[in-house]
DNA sequence: CGCTAATCTAGAACAAGTTACAGACTTGAT
DNA sequence: ATCAAGTCTGTAACTTGTTCTAGATTAGCG
């Protein structure tokens, strides 16, 4: 049983030197900046490399594909958002309200950089098995954000299912909005609709909060 | 009910000649076949063209991009599935059960050709604005299938929201399964979970007919 | 049949993701 | 300081989606 480390984005292989960490940061920043300008298509590996001041081969050493790069960018942004959200938690009375409020807040943040959101979400849903670990990390981050908003410290299996469904709705609604097939109002309705599921699994209804 | 009278994918410009219709069919078949073999990556435009016995330029005249082609392929398959489902409607007592059963049936159909499913779903979620009309057609088809299963002929806005959320869950759950991040059991749970929303919005008066 | 416009074919060319490689630079150990 | 191993750079090549072009074929029409 290998003692898996806790917050594990990197496979823990070599502890990056300072200059390497800096390179990584430059690459992620360049990626986010290009994405914010022109979306998925504008994130061209040659341009990212140039903007970050590294050689193309180096870029590929750090991120083995464009998808990996953009998913890592999303990880980065999500972490940022999670921190921000924790500073000002949602104020709603019941969990469903708080989750809906949180997601809509996140949604408005994405609205400010729709092209960046487009690039990240497209990469996320286009990712194949080779990116599973990274996508999974993003998923766990999202789950953490939702559970935070619910105030569920020890979620039961039912609650986890509900959270998964909320995540599904969140991602898919985002996609339909990004591709211009749904309005913001509609996304809001969908989010609020799915959040009603939370009330169905209020503690006591099916999952006893004891133990664990 | 004529199958083609209602299906408005093409901008209706020129009514295709017989040979053109045949070409289109050959292309779609080639696409589905290649996709079934090796998924999204195996659908290479040159290969599709060759397998369909048309020139590359012709392929692009019929389908302006690989994404368009695969979304059209999905349309095709969905239509087929819709027909099949109508022949043997789900038998559940209440709408939620019937929808869950229908979706799981569709899911098992996709399971039989996971690579094809991968190609189609990846294309669908990767599609950008230029493919909106086609993606919308697929979305309407899915909606029709779900409404059929619900038995809702005149759905209210609430019901439509619920159906949208179910669709979101369906697509996103499919993706997580296809990329190996969720098991079939988990997908089933998610589908059943989201279908509980249906009971919350029983059509105006009361619960499902035949109550029990 | 012969004409014209549209369509189709074959193939080259271009764009961007990805890979490969030779040589310069860092890093760490001695 | 020196050496070995690993990393980074610059650049070319390869792959596959997409576009373009010139000539052959087809469809509709007199």
Alpha carbon distance A93, A99 (integer Å): 11
Per-residue pLDDT for A1 more than 50?
Answer: no
pLDDT of residue A62: 97
Find the mean pLDDT for residues A191-207.
77
* H-only helix segments in chain B: 3-6, 18-42, 45-52, 56-62, 66-87, 95-112, 114-126, 132-150, 157-178, 184-200
Judged by CB atoms closer than 8 Å, whether chains meet at A181 and B135 is answered as yes
> Could you tell me if residue A155 is inside a domain?
yes
Residues of B in contact with A131 (CB under 8 A): 179
CATH of the domain at B187: 1.10.357.10
- Residue B3 CA and nucleotide D13 C1' are separated, in Å, by 50
The helix/strand/coil state of B47 is: helix
pLDDT of residue A202: 67
Selected residue of A164, A166, A195, A197 to mutate for chain B interface (largest B Cβ count, 10 A): A164
pLDDT of residue B60: 98
> Could you tell me if residue B6 is inside a domain?
no
Candidates A46, A43, A108, A92; CA nearest to A71 is A43
Structural domain span for residue A194: 66-200
Contacts of residue B111, Cβ cutoff 8 Å, sequence gap at least 6 = B117, B184
Q: What proportion of chain B, given as a percentage, has pLDDT over 90? A: 82
Per-residue pLDDT for B138 more than 80?
Answer: yes
Residue in this structure with the two tokens 């960046």, named with its chain if needed = A116
Residues of A in contact with B158 (CB under 8 A): 193
pLDDT digit string, tens, across residues B19-35: 899 999 999 999 999 99
* Nucleotide with the nearest C1' to A66 CA: C17
Exposed e or buried b for every residue in A71-108, given b needs 16+ CB within 10 A? bbbbbbbbeebeeebeeeebeeeebbbbbbbbbbbbbe
Work out how many domains chain A is built from and give that number: 1
> Could you tell me if residue B146 is inside a domain?
yes
pLDDT of residue B200: 85
Contacts of residue B2, Cβ cutoff 8 Å, sequence gap at least 6 = none
- Residue B56 CA and nucleotide C9 C1' are separated, in Å, by 9
- Does the CB of A19 fall within 7 Å of any strand C atom? yes
The helix/strand/coil state of B21 is: helix
* Nucleotide with the nearest C1' to B23 CA: C8
Exposed e or buried b for every residue in B134-160, given b needs 16+ CB within 10 A? bbebbbebbbebbbbbbebeebeebbb
> Could you tell me if residue B54 is inside a domain?
no
- Does the CB of B44 fall within 7 Å of any strand D atom? yes
Alpha carbon distance B79, B77 (integer Å): 5
- Residue A67 CA and nucleotide C17 C1' are separated, in Å, by 10
- Residue A56 CA and nucleotide D13 C1' are separated, in Å, by 14
Average per-residue pLDDT in chain A? Answer: 88
- Does the CB of A66 fall within 7 Å of any strand C atom? yes
> Could you tell me if residue B28 is inside a domain?
no
pLDDT digit string, tens, across residues A142-178: 999 999 999 988 999 999 999 999 999 999 999 999 9
* Nucleotide with the nearest C1' to A60 CA: C18
Quick one: residue A62, left, alpha or beta (phi over 0 = left, psi -120 to 50 = alpha)?
Answer: alpha
Judged by CB atoms closer than 8 Å, whether chains meet at B128 and A197 is answered as no
What does each C-alpha distance from B37 to B81, B117, B123 come to in angstroms? Answer: 20, 11, 16
Q: Which of residues 40-99 of A touch B (CB under 8 A)?
A: 40
Per-residue pLDDT for A90 more than 50?
Answer: yes
pLDDT of residue B18: 84
> Could you tell me if residue B61 is inside a domain?
no
pLDDT digit string, tens, across residues A26-50: 999 999 999 999 999 999 999 999 9
Selected residue of B40, B142, B168 to mutate for chain A interface (largest A Cβ count, 10 A): B168
Half-sphere exposure of A207 (CA within 13 A, CB side): 20
Per-residue pLDDT for A212 more than 60?
Answer: no
Alpha carbon distance A191, A99 (integer Å): 9
> Could you tell me if residue A183 is inside a domain?
yes
pLDDT of residue B10: 41
Residues of A in contact with B168 (CB under 8 A): 168-169, 171-173, 176, 190, 194
Contact B81/B106 with Cβ under 8 angstroms? Answer: yes
Contacts of residue A159, Cβ cutoff 8 Å, sequence gap at least 6 = A150, A152, A201, A207
Residues of B in contact with A206 (CB under 8 A): none
Per-residue pLDDT for B123 more than 50?
Answer: yes
Contacts of residue B155, Cβ cutoff 8 Å, sequence gap at least 6 = B147, B163
- Residue B87 CA and nucleotide D3 C1' are separated, in Å, by 78
pLDDT of residue A199: 87
Per-residue pLDDT for A99 more than 90?
Answer: yes
């Amino acid at each position: 049983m290998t003692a898996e480390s806790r917050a594990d984005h990197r496979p823990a292989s070599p502890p990056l030197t300072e200059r390497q960490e800096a390179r990584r940061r430059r690459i992620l920043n360049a990626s986010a900046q290009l994405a914010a300008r022109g979306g998925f298509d504008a994130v061209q590996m040659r341009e990212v490399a140039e903007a970050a001041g590294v050689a193309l081969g180096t870029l590929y050493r750090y991120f083995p594909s464009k998808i990996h790069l953009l998913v890592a960018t999303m990880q980065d942004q999500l972490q940022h958002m999670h921190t921000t959200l924790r500073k000002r938690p949602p104020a709603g009375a019941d969990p469903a309200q708080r989750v809906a409020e949180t997601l809509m807040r996140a949604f408005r943040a994405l609205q400010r950089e729709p092209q960046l959101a487009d690039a990240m979400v497209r990469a996320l849903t286009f990712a194949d098995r080779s990116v599973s670990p990274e996508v999974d990390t993003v998923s766990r981050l999202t789950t953490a954000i939702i559970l935070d908003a619910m105030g569920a410290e020890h979620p039961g299996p039912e609650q986890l299912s509900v959270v998964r469904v909320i995540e599904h709705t969140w991602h898919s609604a985002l996609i339909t909005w990004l591709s211009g097939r749904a309005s913001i109002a509609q996304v809001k309705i969908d989010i609020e609709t799915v959040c009603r599921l939370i009330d169905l699994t209020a503690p006591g209804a099916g999952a006893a909060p004891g133990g664990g």
